Structure 1
Amino acid sequence: MTYYHVSFENPLTSYLQIQLLVDVPAEATGPLALQLPAWRPGRYELQNFAQKIQRMEFSDAETDEPLPYRKITKDCWEVPGAAGRSVRARYNFYAHQMDAGGSWLDESQLYLNPVQALLYAVGQESQPCQLTLALPPDWRLACGLLQTAPNVLQASNFDQLADAPLIASPSIQHEQYTAGGVPFHVWVQGEEAAVDWPRLLADFQAFSAEQLQLFGGFPVAEYHFLNQFLPYKHYHGVEHHNSTVIVLGPAEALMQEAYYKELLGVSCHELFHTWNIKAIRPAEMQPYDYARENYFRTCYVAEGVTTYYGEYLLARSRVRTPAQYFEELNLVLRKHYDDAGGRNLSLADASMDLWLDGYRPGVPDRKVSVYHKGALAALLLDLTLRQLHGHQRSLDDVMRRLYEEFGKTGLGYTDEDYARVVTEVAGRRMQVYFDKFINGTAPLQEPLDRALHTVGCQLVAYENPVISEGTFGFRTALKNDRVEVTYLWPDSPAAAVLAVEDELVAINGRRAGANLQTLLAPGEPVYQLAVFRQNRLLLVELAPQPGPSYGTRYTVEKLTEADENQRAGFEKWLGWEF
């Protein structure tokens, strides 16, 4: 058993006091190695949590004798001569990151993601763990772990402990519902949150029941939605073993359409992860190696398929209408076609490159989103499987097969396993799909439009109405009254004369600001642009060229005239009448 104790003295400092007690076998050889995770499941990049640790100390737990130690990497400490001893580590952890993957301490709450803050003894990861929290007497604790005594949590191993976020506060709210015989807990931290509980619980129950029906079972005995509703705008969610943390704001606007749809979408998405990434786990992460990158090629399954189902199942469970679903689907299309990165990197390679720069903009046109293109590739696959089998088979069958073969057995799957299961469900070779859209960079527009026609819909292209983007191929942002060029479409007129980070000063002698649309509207054969580039003033000429619009906008819309088969396909796909 590994014992952890977490307390705090002054919550306004945001520092937690953490103790770890580990027994080292007498027959152990070599030093005791204590590792802090370098990343967290759900965000596949190194995060260097050790930068939040202050004042590390080691001692013999029985005598309190200080023990020598040596830091050997940025987040690993070694204690020599520890065999046969009970070793205590003491340190402070700075909990001042309020997002769904962070930790936070103030006078109103303790919010902890253990994966950020708790060391583990290398070689003892499979040992049971006990976490004791020193909390004020009026504080209530929300966590997916078993509570064996007041403020004492039990985990079967470090993996389970690391994957169990908690919130403790005197004001946390709690409600509960049941779906498919499974208890679901909804926790809300945030005094400003005006929650319409009957509506929220009814909607959550509906999409939870839809997911349980899809998979035919649930990997865990109960589930916890841990919500942080903030007084300012925020959006983030992270999946865990039997819980999720969702951070949204502003809390007072939570039930307004613009924000409530975000709550529904992220909640449905994160619940789907309970199967798809937590149970159905890539082979490269069986088990997790917290000390280094866990490269895997199937994040387009883990995140792309989940992004597709996160909004789609809200419509299928009748929580959202088809029109509302199409709004969210069109937003995914907009984000995917917002740059030309999809031409240059495949989904499989983008899965690997998440560890490199997957969560930051990166250099222009280098990469593609496993979330956005992954969702569109999943939509294409779902509609293709439905077309092949008259809606008797679908992507649902693929996910059920993955759950049966890998999720329930604890075996990890590879990209070859996923391709095999897809092929078996399709009943035909699907190599073209994988060659073009997963391992290649083929455009999705035409095949997606054909697939949508089978369910009475179509992919409609609209010219970009923003003249600077659609006609000339450059995007700008207004920063402190400065117009900065932020993106250039490859081979566009603007790409021949402008550069990213140029400051656009004037167009045809008139000062540039929020008036670009007006200044570029006359349709002149040539425009004189004054720009600052690296603090040097340049004059360049920008001329429109015949050809396609840049930054084309794509939307999914219902066909104005759909035949009987298309209407029936729509109903079988979405569960709504056409």
Structure 2
Amino acid sequence: MTGLVQVQLDLSNPQSHLVHVRLEISSPQAQQQVSLPGWTPGSYLIRDYVKQLEGFKAVQQGLERSVRRTDPSTWQIDCNPDAGPLVLTYAVMATELTVRTCHLDQDHGFFALAAVVLEVAGQRWSPHRLTCVVPNGWNAFVPLPREATGSWLATTFDQLIDSPIEAGPHQSHPFEVLGVPHRWVTWFSDPACAVWFADRYPTFFEDVKQVCLACCRLMGEPRPASSDYLFVLHLLDEGYGGLEHDDSTVLVYGRRNLETSSGYRKLLQLVAHEYFHQWNVRRLTPRELRPVDYNRASVIPTLWFAEGVTSYFDQLLPLTAGLSTPQDYFSDLGEDLSRYLLTPGRQVQTLRESSEEAWVKLYKADAYSASSQVSYYLKGAVVALCLDLELRRHQSSLSAVVQQLWRSHGRHGRGYGESDLLEAFEGQVTGLAGRLEQWLTDVDDPDCSGYLLDVGLALEPEMSSDPWTGMTTGLKDGRLVVQRVLRHSPAERAGLMVGDELIGLAGQRLAKPEDVPTHLRAGVAQPLLMARRSSLRELQLCSDPPQPKRYKLEPVANPTTAQQAAQEAWLQQRVG
């Protein structure tokens, strides 16, 4: 096959945590350049995967070729183009267990291939054949067409990089969604958990299928976007997350969460979120990601739509699938709205800025981030809720807009820009583009309460019983230390910062977090003894009156017939 790049991954020595890579270029250039991606699509952070690569060598006709490193993740190799294939060998340390990195031990292997496979200059759009050498008794699960020889064939480097690998002594569970084959593979970090999970959730695979069907209905599609789909779940003691791909997703979930009905429901919401990304993000894609630049960050002002709209729908989809109740949905939506309203950074960073700054803020959060930023997932979902309810006032819906964008852009692989989104919303409701533009560029909150009233709901604050300081404390090495200080809070006004050790308040010894509110008096300046860099200091802390500690979404008393009808149509994602 002309221009074929062959990639072999050797996982046969899992206790070393090293995957050994052999990459063969059938038609090398005289000055062949290769580079390792710096990030993986769907997770907007430059990760410098090259830090895990070692032992790089280049051989042609049995002779080692001269290699020059042109930047930390790029090599240039002197070749003879007429001397046959160029073979590159190296190893990658796989010790980081996330959905966007690599992990290999005696129990399993997982590989995000952006962290493993070099991009061959001039061969990005050439076929890549993948083979895996695995220990006895292991299977490799790859979302690529499999050849008769047991290898997998990707039509391009992009398709290969978009194909995560799970390997181990696992079995897959096959099922179909509207005639499309699906596979589910679970790695149980505790093998005993497999029986527990099967006994506790015997309808799990049927529930997953119903979520998938709900996604197709929401998109108005007779089939999934993928023609063959792979789910991979890492069921750990703790954890939460997922990463979407064209034909697969990798999920991480905490087993302890599954001991409650709400935990199971949120697993199904995670399934819905990543599965819905088949359409929104993977194929209906921001223009800045067509094509992906694997070596640099791209400013993507529409990430709020890619992730926020998906986050809004992921809570609704299990409901429309018949797997949760309206009360469950109100509880989950109320939690998100509460988190949003209790995030002071929403008054500093706009939604568009949150999208554009994902690379340097969301994925690099620190103890002060809550005061200076807001997640485009969270505020994006809040704006999506308001958009949906505004559209429903005019006999339309958010799903109708997503379907329209899918037909105009997603099906044809056309990347969209912010102007395309504004035009789509304006096409449904005159003036909505201007309102959306304001929600994207202002730090003022959308009128959630007004929209929720349309469907007979109200956000009710639950007040704390303690005076408000705007700081969070915890124990570290037996010392009571400040873990967070919110902007414009009493703690900030007093001069406290993260890492300060708290010793005494109002003449009383402090030993644990619950000691602090015991001695607080709102509106009264109280002496606070603390230590910073081994130096004792006394500050004056004047706490504010109690603030809301959370918000709950509650049905209004005596809803009107119009509110009841609107709520029913909204919850079932119908119009009218």
In structure 2, distance between residues paired with 1:155 and 1:164: 9
In structure 2, distance between residues paired with 1:460 and 1:524: 25
1:552 positional shift = 5.3
CA contact (8 A) 1:526 1:541 kept: yes
The reply on whether 1:189 has 2:187 as its aligned counterpart is yes
Match of 1:382 in 2: 388
Q: Aligned pair in 2 of structure 1 residues 545, 290: CA closer, same or farther (>3 Å)?
A: closer
Match of 2:377 in 1: 371
1:518 positional shift = 5.0
Question: Any idea what SS the aligned residue of 1:355 has?
Answer: coil
Q: Aligned pair in 2 of structure 1 residues 518, 354: CA closer, same or farther (>3 Å)?
A: closer
CA deviation profile, 1:77-104 (whole Å, cap 9, x unmatched): 1112443342111001111111111222
Question: In structure 1, which of residues 385, 398, 410 is the aligned counterpart of residue 401 of structure 2?
Answer: 398
1:524 positional shift = 7.7
CA deviation profile, 1:412-446 (whole Å, cap 9, x unmatched): 000111111111122x12244223211221123xx
1:290 positional shift = 0.8
What amino acid sits opposite 1:31 in the alignment? Q
Counterpart mapping for 1:232-271 below 5 A: 232-250=237-255, 254=258, 256-271=260-275
1:560 positional shift = 1.8
The answer to which of 284-293 and 312-321 deviates more is 312-321
CA contact (8 A) 1:472 1:550 kept: no
Match of 2:62 in 1: 64
In structure 1, distance between residues paired with 2:548 and 2:419: 34
CA contact (8 A) 1:111 1:168 kept: yes
Question: Any idea what SS the aligned residue of 1:241 has?
Answer: coil
The answer to which of 429-438 and 497-506 deviates more is 429-438
CA contact (8 A) 1:272 1:306 kept: yes
Match of 2:432 in 1: 430
Match of 2:146 in 1: 147
In structure 1, distance between residues paired with 2:535 and 2:156: 60
For the aligned residue pairs, the C-alpha RMSD in angstroms reads 2.1
In structure 1, distance between residues paired with 2:357 and 2:548: 25
In structure 2, distance between residues paired with 1:431 and 1:410: 24
The reply on whether 1:473 has 2:470 as its aligned counterpart is yes
Match of 1:337 in 2: 341
CA contact (8 A) 1:473 1:550 kept: no
Match of 1:562 in 2: 559
CA contact (8 A) 2:22 2:89 kept: yes
What amino acid sits opposite 2:514 in the alignment? N
CA contact (8 A) 2:522 2:544 kept: no
Counterpart mapping for 1:177-576 below 5 A: 177-190=175-188, 191=191, 192-193=193-194, 194-196=196-198, 198-217=202-221, 218-230=224-236, 232-250=237-255, 254=258, 256-362=260-366, 363-364=368-369, 365-389=371-395, 393-426=396-429, 428-444=430-446, 447-465=447-465, 467-468=466-467, 471-501=468-498, 502-512=500-510, 513-516=512-515, 518-520=517-519, 525-545=524-544, 549-550=546-547, 553-575=550-572
CA contact (8 A) 1:102 1:113 kept: yes
In structure 2, distance between residues paired with 1:66 and 1:238: 38
CA deviation profile, 1:242-279 (whole Å, cap 9, x unmatched): 1111122337x646435323321211111011111101
The reply on whether 1:22 has 2:25 as its aligned counterpart is yes
What amino acid sits opposite 2:475 in the alignment? L
In structure 2, distance between residues paired with 1:544 and 1:522: 7
In structure 1, distance between residues paired with 2:481 and 2:150: 52
1:206 positional shift = 1.5
CA contact (8 A) 2:527 2:540 kept: yes
CA contact (8 A) 1:144 1:224 kept: yes
CA contact (8 A) 2:505 2:516 kept: no
Q: Aligned pair in 2 of structure 1 residues 12, 258: CA closer, same or farther (>3 Å)?
A: farther
The reply on whether 1:176 has 2:161 as its aligned counterpart is no
Match of 2:78 in 1: 80
What amino acid sits opposite 1:495 in the alignment? E
Question: Any idea what SS the aligned residue of 1:43 has?
Answer: coil
Match of 2:137 in 1: 138
The answer to which of 97-106 and 410-419 deviates more is 97-106
Match of 1:115 in 2: 114
CA deviation profile, 1:519-539 (whole Å, cap 9, x unmatched): 235668332211113322122
CA contact (8 A) 2:347 2:444 kept: yes
Q: Aligned pair in 2 of structure 1 residues 566, 260: CA closer, same or farther (>3 Å)?
A: same
Q: Structure 2 unaligned segments of length 5 or more: list them.
A: none
What amino acid sits opposite 2:553 in the alignment? V
Q: Aligned pair in 2 of structure 1 residues 504, 151: CA closer, same or farther (>3 Å)?
A: farther
Question: Any idea what SS the aligned residue of 2:55 has?
Answer: strand
Match of 1:166 in 2: 165
What amino acid sits opposite 1:456 in the alignment? G
In structure 2, distance between residues paired with 1:297 and 1:342: 17
1:137 positional shift = 4.4
CA contact (8 A) 2:462 2:548 kept: no
Normalised TM-score (structure 2): 0.92
In structure 2, distance between residues paired with 1:486 and 1:436: 34
Match of 2:51 in 1: 51
CA contact (8 A) 1:135 1:151 kept: no
CA contact (8 A) 2:301 2:352 kept: yes
Question: Any idea what SS the aligned residue of 2:308 has?
Answer: helix
CA contact (8 A) 1:142 1:168 kept: yes
Q: Aligned pair in 2 of structure 1 residues 10, 489: CA closer, same or farther (>3 Å)?
A: closer
What amino acid sits opposite 2:93 in the alignment? Y
Q: Aligned pair in 2 of structure 1 residues 49, 86: CA closer, same or farther (>3 Å)?
A: same
Question: Any idea what SS the aligned residue of 1:21 has?
Answer: strand
What amino acid sits opposite 1:54 in the alignment? E
In structure 2, distance between residues paired with 1:492 and 1:188: 45
1:126 positional shift = 0.6
CA contact (8 A) 1:105 1:111 kept: yes
In structure 2, distance between residues paired with 1:544 and 1:106: 51
1:315 positional shift = 1.6
In structure 1, distance between residues paired with 2:220 and 2:87: 45
Match of 2:7 in 1: 4
In structure 1, distance between residues paired with 2:80 and 2:439: 53
What amino acid sits opposite 1:463 in the alignment? M
The reply on whether 1:36 has 2:36 as its aligned counterpart is yes
In structure 2, distance between residues paired with 1:258 and 1:6: 40
The percent identity for this pair of structures is 26
CA contact (8 A) 2:186 2:234 kept: yes
**How many equivalent pairs are there?**
558
Question: Any idea what SS the aligned residue of 1:304 has?
Answer: helix
In structure 1, distance between residues paired with 2:166 and 2:434: 47
Q: Aligned pair in 2 of structure 1 residues 202, 560: CA closer, same or farther (>3 Å)?
A: farther
CA contact (8 A) 1:452 1:458 kept: yes
The reply on whether 1:98 has 2:103 as its aligned counterpart is no
1:55 positional shift = 0.4
